[in-house]
Amino acid sequence: MGEVKKGYVRPLDLKQGRVDMGHGAGGRAMAQLIDEVFARAFANEWLGQGNDAAVLPAPAAGERLVMATDAHVVSPLFFPGGDIGCLSVHGTINDVAVMGARPLYLAASFILEEGFALADLVRIVNSMAAAAREAGVPVVTGDTKVVEAGKGDGVFISTTGVGALPAGRDIGGANARAGDVVIVSGSIGDHGTAILSQRESLAFDTEIVSDTAALHGLIAHLLELVPGVRVMRDPTRGGLATTLNEIAVQSGVGISLEEAAIPVHPQVEAACEFLGLDPLYVANEGKLVVICAAADADAAVSALRAHPLGTEAARIGEVIDDPNHFVQIRTGFGGRRMVDWLSGEQLPRIC
Amino acid sequence: MKYVDEFRDGGLAQKLATAIRAEADPAREYAFMEFCGGHTHAISRYGVTDLLPPNVRMIHGPGCPVCVLPIGRIDMAIGLALARPEVIVCTYGDCLRVPASDGLSMLKAKARGADIRMVYSAADAVALAQANPAREVVFFAIGFETTTPPTALVIRQAEALGLNNFSVICNHVLTPSAIVTILESPEVREIGSVPLDGFIGPAHVSTIIGSRPYAFFAEEYRKPVVIAGFEPLDVMQAVRMLIRQVNEGRAEVENEFTRAVTEDGNLKAQALVSDVFELRRSFEWRGLHEVPYSALRIRARFAAFDAEAKFDIAYRSVADNKACECGAILRGVKKPTDCRIFGTVCTPENPMGSCMVSSEGACAAHYNYGRFRDIPVVAA
């Protein structure tokens, strides 16, 4: 953290000012930006020390460390229900939490584009700080770089999270077994559809808001009641379909879904229909996929539904033996089809 | 969703399936071609095949505009965008992935520095030209009769606005001539190796051209046609109507999609199209080779907006992979799994032939949605 002598340096113009190359040059301007924007928003004992790294206590005996990192490049930066700031906190907390770990600390790195409005940066950083505070997971170290105008997209945020995994807990993508049950914590496709609704070229009126949320509270509640959960994952980019294909391959199993059981909000369904997209492939930021033994399924659904982030939890399918690791679905219409990996990006159909 | 869910009702589907089983003669086989990619998508997406009796076979025809676009046409756009930095090429999303020469696609050319952008409508392309007066905006227009009127409209708009930095590479193709080509193919007409018993006529295309253009080949080739909407119940109802025609020895044009299609179609759109476009003598289709009078080009009066004339770009035909069976698959002579390179060399990530390009193509639909049927799966 930089030492800025108050009284000698004019404060940053956080209303009209813009990021310039000096804010990333390592000198006084950068120290001022860090001090007045980042340190102020994230204020905590580790960050306040201003060292190159945070010195943190070791986890309890028998616990293991869990670490995840995630880069966030989202357009637009602000969308209904959130922004890139809170998203960057939630996404990494969730990656740590789905392993069954207790998220402890975050590191954040910012790549800012020359010319980016300081007011927008402050808005993003404040949203990030609020999300971290609410989750009880402080941002303890960070970095800032500035790239020339045209070489970035306003702001990119990369966050790294560290958590502690209790002794004996084994949750992972390779643990699904034939006969297990697949559960989602709520409606799918909300985040991706909210983002699409704000795209400059697409803008449509909708009440769909992003589901971005930190899931560690929901997960802790679930694990308290159903400690034997085998797999958890947050179905972000690539959506539910991609997540289930990943798990099927990792575990060497197949998955069979019931389309009618998968919760999708009508507005999301309508937007996807209009754009020629499949909600199964649309991103989520506050949803959880859980795979557990059939005997635990009812308890798991009840546990999820008892938490505010899991009220729409539903059992959506089962794990089957399949050497090809296919994910298939019984359609609401009565037929069957595969839910394959996405080929490249999901692009709208022409007619 | 109101007016949509009604056409996806699982209970109604079961009743219709029972009715189809009752009407289909167990002593004979029925083979129907759905020409349009939208129907192929609906059949695959909702698992319609599972609700049809085994003696009713659906053949996925060449009605996916992305799939039938020949490599050479995409090469034209990529070559232009790479050679001229002032050019912005824009096109519909699903065009971006279509493989072209030299291992390129529009997406890959974009990564090499070409300014290629996705637009959601032809109107977006004009807006892009207005927003970038110092650049040349070239709209790579593709599609059947459905997407042709919007392209005609933007060319007229560009003229009215006096836009001199907007032009179009026109790749619009026509449905009836492609169907005739399939019916005229030796396999279908002479050898009789493809028992094509009838067609499900396109939905959106028919809203423009109406049902009348199909009357010719219903009469000439004695093949029943039922125009159907894109919802799965529409498809099943059309299959039932086709079975009934076959059983009764009729070959007529029937309209299941009366909520949107009339006999004459949209006359205003047709007038607009004929004002701006004229027939090409011949056009290459991926998988079907040259098809006479099967595509449109921009009339000389609008030459200022014709990118082919404006930038003097010529078409060069590029052969498909030799092992590719797309032509036979599009005519119903072979199934996707009959192709040696299906699912191995040719996959949706790395498509070799036209049928694997978009999810509406016969091979991609089978690969993405139906591949599990090829291998028995043991339930837990």
Asked whether the beta carbons of residue B92 and residue A350 sit closer than 8 angstroms, the reply is yes
Same domain, B59 and B89: no
Q: Is residue B92 part of a domain?
A: yes
* Rounded distance between C-alpha atoms, residue B180 and residue B190, angstroms: 14
pLDDT band at B379 (very low <50, low <70, confident <90, very high): very low
Q: Nearest to residue A240, comparing CAs of A299, A202, A191, A206?
A: A191
List chain B residues with CB under 8 Å of A330: 47
Asked whether the beta carbons of residue B370 and residue A270 sit closer than 8 angstroms, the reply is no
Q: Yes or no: is domain A21-165 CATH 3.40.50.720?
A: no
Q: Is residue B281 part of a domain?
A: no
Same domain, B79 and B161: yes
Residue from B14, B46, B115, B366 whose CB has the most chain A CBs within 10 Å, to mutate: B46
Same domain, B83 and B130: yes
Asked whether the beta carbons of residue A351 and residue B146 sit closer than 8 angstroms, the reply is yes
Same domain, B57 and B186: yes
Q: Is residue B290 part of a domain?
A: no
Same domain, B213 and B158: no
Tell me B55's DSSP state. Answer: T
Same domain, B155 and B17: no
Q: How confident is the model over B95-142, as pLDDT tens digits? A: 998 889 998 999 999 999 999 999 989 999 999 999 999 999 999 999
**Which residues numbered 230-259 in A keep a CB inside 8 Å of some CB on B?**
254, 256
CB B340: neighbour CB atoms within 10 A? Answer: 10
Range of the structural domain that residue B243 is part of: 5-64+176-255
Q: How confident is the model over B85-106, as pLDDT tens digits? A: 999 999 998 899 888 999 899 9
Asked whether the beta carbons of residue A348 and residue B93 sit closer than 8 angstroms, the reply is yes
Question: Does residue B232 contact residue B42 with C-beta atoms inside 8 Å?
Answer: yes
Average pLDDT over residues B26-39: 94
**Domain residue ranges of chain A, discontinuous segments joined by +:** 21-165, 181-338
Q: Is residue B131 part of a domain?
A: yes
Task: Closest CB to A335: pick one of B50, B146, B358.
Answer: B50
Mean pLDDT over all residues of chain B? 92
Which of B192, B223, B255 lies at the terminal end of a domain, its last residue?
A: B255
Q: pTM of the prediction? A: 0.89
CB A92: neighbour CB atoms within 10 A? Answer: 29
CB under 8 Å to A95, separation ≥6 — which residues? Answer: A68, A70, A161, A234
* Rounded distance between C-alpha atoms, residue B320 and residue B363, angstroms: 15
Of the listed ranges A230-234, A281-285, B213-217, B269-273, the one predicted with least confidence: B213-217
- Which pLDDT score is estimated for B7? 84
Q: How confident is the model over B292-351, as pLDDT tens digits? A: 999 999 999 999 999 999 999 999 999 888 889 988 898 888 899 999 999 999 998 888
Same domain, B167 and B181: no
**B303: CATH:** 3.40.50.11740
Look at B321 and B243; give whichever has higher pLDDT: B243
Q: Is residue B248 part of a domain?
A: yes
Q: Is residue B284 part of a domain?
A: no
Helix residue ranges, H only, chain B: 10-23, 37-46, 71-83, 106-111, 122-131, 148-161, 175-184, 186, 204-209, 215-220, 232-248, 267-276, 307-310, 326-330, 362-365
- Fold match between A21-165 and A181-338? no
Q: Is residue B193 part of a domain?
A: yes
Residue labelled with tokens 């050898």: B191
| B377 pLDDT more than 60 | no
Q: Which CATH number fits domain A181-338: 3.90.550.10, 3.90.650.10, 3.90.76.10, 3.40.640.10?
A: 3.90.650.10
Q: How confident is the model over B160-187, as pLDDT tens digits? A: 999 999 999 999 999 998 888 888 888 7
**B233: CATH:** 3.40.50.11750
Same domain, B49 and B83: no
What does each of the 351 residues of chain A score in pLDDT, given as a tens digit? 445 455 567 889 999 999 999 999 989 899 999 999 999 999 999 999 989 999 999 999 999 999 999 999 998 999 999 999 999 999 999 999 999 999 999 999 999 999 999 999 999 999 999 999 999 999 999 999 999 999 999 999 999 999 999 999 999 999 999 999 999 999 999 999 999 888 766 777 778 899 999 999 999 999 999 999 999 999 999 999 999 999 999 999 999 999 999 999 999 999 998 888 899 999 999 999 999 999 999 999 999 999 999 999 999 999 999 999 999 999 999 999 999 998 766 766 655
Mean pLDDT over all residues of chain A? 93
- Which pLDDT score is estimated for A8? 62
Asked whether the beta carbons of residue A333 and residue B97 sit closer than 8 angstroms, the reply is no
Q: How confident is the model over B183-207, as pLDDT tens digits? A: 888 877 776 677 899 999 999 999 9
Q: Is residue B338 part of a domain?
A: yes
- Which pLDDT score is estimated for B380? 42
List chain B residues with CB under 8 Å of A254: 377
Which amino acid is present at A140? V
